[in-house]
Amino acid sequence: MHTPPMPSIYLTKVIRLSLCLLLAGFLVPLARAADPGADTTAAEMDAANRETLAGEVLELAYSPGSLRDSFEGYLTPALDAMKRDGMPDAAGAEMRVAFLAWFDQEVKWADIKPKLVQIYAHDFTSEELASFLHFLQDPVGQKVMAKLPLVMQEGALAGRDYFKGKQDSLNAKLAPIIEKYKGKSESPSATSAPSTP
């Protein structure tokens, strides 16, 4: 059976429709790329992924115990400095007990963690968080995190001792400036302000 030839007007419409569909197939992705709202789902999925990864990183990097260790890492040099400045040993011991009791009672990991998750998810990409997570799951990463509070404490002491040796030269540079402004008011005098009628 022979089909009659299609009138040229119909053939032209089919070709035009095909071209329109083909063109739409190319233009829709371009329009979606130009529309920031079109990728909202992808952005939301990435943000959720970053938050999940950040939570996993924080569970390995910090814990209530490591948070307390970190706090003690800063507390010990501070109390040692107070002792060197004349605080009695007994007062230092009592202050340590008071600080740690306060920390144990008031500082809650469950309160801090969500805030840290938001910071990590904002400041790191998914790829960076995944790499950090991989590092923390490695024995070397676990050792770094276990030793970090002590290393930070020792670093703080070394830095303090180093800068203490430089204090005299800093004081020599600051003394002329302090002397120059000694007795001068920090705010402009009332006489220099414009008067209002």
Q: Give the residue, 28 or 144, on which the prediction is more confident.
A: 144
Q: Which of 77-81, 93-97, 165-169, 191-195 has the lowest mean pLDDT?
A: 191-195
List b or e across 179-188, with b for residues whose CB sees 16 or more CB atoms inside 10 angstroms: eeeeeeeeee
Residue 158 pLDDT > 50, yes or no? yes
Q: Where are the domains of the chain?
A: 45-158
Residue 181 pLDDT > 50, yes or no? yes
Angle formed by the axes of helices 139-165 and 167-181, to 10°?
Answer: 60
CB-based contacts of 56, cutoff 8 Å, min separation 6: 133
Predicted pLDDT at 191: 47
Amino acid letter, 123: D
CB-based contacts of 176, cutoff 8 Å, min separation 6: none
Predicted pLDDT at 37: 55
Separation of alpha carbons 101 and 180, rounded Å: 47
Angle formed by the axes of helices 139-165 and 126-137, to 10°?
Answer: 100
Residue 73 pLDDT > 60, yes or no? yes
Segment 106-134 mean pLDDT:
90
Chain mean position to CA 162? 28
Predicted pLDDT at 40: 65
Average pLDDT of the residues of the chain: 77
Predicted pLDDT at 36: 53
Segment 38-63 mean pLDDT:
83
Separation of alpha carbons 131 and 129, rounded Å: 5
Predicted pLDDT at 82: 87
Chain mean position to CA 28? 37
CB 153 within 8 A of CB 73: yes
